[in-house]
């Protein structure tokens, strides 16, 4: 069986910065094992598999090299970027079926906007729970460390500066243990830089590092 696989770089500006994802159009049904193998061979954080849907314009499934996840933002944006590249976009609004629900995609001025579920806020975690994950001196104390989900549960952790965010040295085994204990996908570290929010995501349970 020959399968066409595309690679999209989401969130790049003028060719700089990117979050790569694999994109596969399933013209024939693939087994979970086959999807896993493709994702493993591509070795990106996520690969999106697109197929027909009975409740939306498209069905999207997302696989890391290790497991299936319910939703992935950059892989969704990448999938629609590939659809645009292949001249398969014919309207300004689409719906996608995901394991996090049916979401809408809006196309405006060649930009792709993805709807996300309303955020759900869970428990606030004291900083000492994260001892050993990375240098806790980098954490910004003005904001809570909290589990939040718009489709995937992550621990959101505020960091003082972008420089500290970029130089964080994570202990993946410790992050994996904390993620299991709190039943989350991983840790999402962020810092405010002017009018931007800069992020790093660590999810070693799913081989996302």
Choosing from 27, 28, 37, 46, the catalytic residue is 46
Give the C-alpha distances (Å, rounded to integers) separating 127 from 31, 139, 182, 202. 42, 8, 14, 17
Asked if 123 is an active-site residue, the reply is no
Q: Which helix (H) or strand (E) holds 107?
A: strand 101-108
CB-based contact 148:156 (threshold 8 Å): yes
Torsion of CA 183, 184, 189, 192, to 10 degrees: -110
Pairwise CA distance, residues 160 & 11, whole Å: 23
Q: Are 191 and 166 in contact (CB under 8 A)?
A: no
The distance from CA 67 to its chain's CA centroid, rounded to whole angstroms, is 13
Phi and psi for 139 in degrees, rounded to 5?
Answer: -70, 135
**Residue 137: DSSP 8-state:** G
Which three-class secondary structure state does DSSP give residue 25? strand
Residues marked active site are found at: 46
């Amino acid at each position: 069986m020959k399968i066409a696989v595309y690679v999209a770089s989401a969130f790049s500006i003028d060719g700089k910065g990117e979050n790569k994802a694999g994109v596969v159009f399933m013209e024939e049904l693939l087994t979970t094992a086959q999807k896993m193998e493709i994702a493993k061979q591509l070795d990106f954080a996520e690969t999106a598999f697109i197929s027909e849907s009975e409740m939306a314009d498209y069905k999207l499934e997302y696989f890391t090299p290790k497991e299936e996840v319910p939703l992935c933002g950059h892989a969704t944006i990448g999938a629609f970027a590939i659809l645009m590249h292949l001249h398969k976009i014919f309207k300004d609004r689409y719906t996608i079926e995901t394991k996090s629900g049916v979401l809408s995609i809006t196309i405006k001025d060649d930009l792709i906007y993805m709807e996300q579920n309303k955020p759900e806020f869970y428990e606030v975690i004291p900083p000492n729970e994260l001892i050993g994950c990375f240098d806790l001196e980098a954490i910004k104390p003005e904001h809570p460390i909290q589990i939040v989900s718009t489709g995937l549960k992550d621990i959101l952790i505020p960091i003082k500066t972008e420089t500290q965010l970029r130089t964080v040295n994570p202990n993946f085994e410790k992050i994996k243990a904390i993620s299991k204990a709190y039943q989350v996908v991983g840790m999402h570290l962020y810092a405010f830089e002017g009018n931007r929010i800069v992020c790093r995501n660590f999810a070693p349970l799913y081989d996302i590092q």
